A and B are shown apart, each in its own frame.
Chain A
């Protein structure tokens, strides 16, 4: 179970607004987070991952407090080890596909499986600049999965994939999420693209 109760001021064009959110995410659940642009969806994921600190809040994961601003507990991202799929992919320009995965894990068999899932086996020596947008996005997903995270945070993870590739990948991801009881939070503008993957929905932005 992941409990999140945070408050963070966001700078917006029209002034400062506050992202307030209280929610529980059951272990192994997959939640689609949606809401208008600028509502703070990506910020929420970054707060949970430990990249951004909220003004106030508490994050408790399986009984362990990752963040509690009142008692100044704040685990660094390295200790949280939440898999993160970035909207801009954040691939390392100096590393090939294979090196990305080897940087994340030493498990060769797991790397082989991930390459097969992402259909990137034949491109394993390619660097990001030689991959298409869809291939880069798949690599970003595979890299996040490489550490077998208990919590996976995905920011617009399927935006560059075609329908066929997406449905195949989603099927494989469901199987992995089941195997490792991964709790997944997915930010996406398009509710339809997650069809068959998510069980829960959370809207951000109503109260802002």
Chain B
């Protein structure tokens, strides 16, 4: 292919699309994940156990299985997908918003895990001290709890972002391979290999590798080596 022999002319759209998807997913998960992780960190109940199990499922489930069920659920031919299209004119299948939805579900454990674990490790007396000063639970959360889990929060953000960069199975199932819309970098790599265009595949792979490595190592340095490795 021409692209393969001329890196300057390489189509960078999949890279930008991937970065956009990772940024939106991370931002959404931060907003959704913080309060849910806070709620999950306080006590145990059967509802919390079930919800936590559901959130953890993407870690162990084959991505294609998750993608398949999302494809079925949001297909315009079926109940929910059909209803969303008719009422809100929203289509999740083979669209960028579908990629966002799938990524949010798929990357959720990477945001929740470090935040919930960090909140559970804070002494209960911190919250109690804040409440005894007349501060509401929300004030306590924003002024005392969140500032004191910053290293874990940063870990969660970077892991979520990096994990979304590398998504393949789920996004392929629900988004397909539409250039400029759902063709993210990981799919572009696969597509290039299928076409025996190893040079382009290598270029995309190197860019993904570099971005992910810089992100992860930045967090290690920012946290002064205190970051708990996901391998520990």
A-side residues, CB < 8 A to B, are 46, 49-51, 76-78, 80-84, 86, 88, 90-94, 103-104, 143-144, 146-147
Contacts and interface: CB of A to CB of B under 8 A. Distances in A.
B133 A51 contact: no
B125 A143 contact: no
A144 B124 CA distance: 17
B150 to A, nearest CB: 8
B147 A94 contact: yes
Contacts of B129: 84, 86, 90-92, 143
B125 A86 contact: yes
B148 A49 contact: no
B230 interface: no
B144 A92 contact: yes
Contact of A78 (B126, B136, B147, B150): B136
A51 B147 CA distance: 22
B52 to A, nearest CB: 25
Contact of B132 (A77, A91, A93): A77
A104 B135 CA distance: 8
30 contacts: A46-B128, A49-B132, A51-B131, A51-B132, A76-B131, A78-B131, A78-B136, A81-B132, A81-B133, A83-B132, A84-B129, A86-B128, A88-B125, A90-B123, A90-B125, A90-B128, A91-B129, A92-B130, A92-B144, A92-B147, A92-B148, A94-B144, A94-B147, A94-B148, A94-B150, A103-B133, A143-B129, A143-B133, A144-B132, A147-B134
Contacts of A143: 129, 133
Across the A-B interface, the 7 shortest Cβ-Cβ residue pairs: A90-B125, A94-B147, A77-B131, A90-B129, A84-B132, A104-B133, A51-B128
Interface string B145-178: 0011010000000000000000000000000000
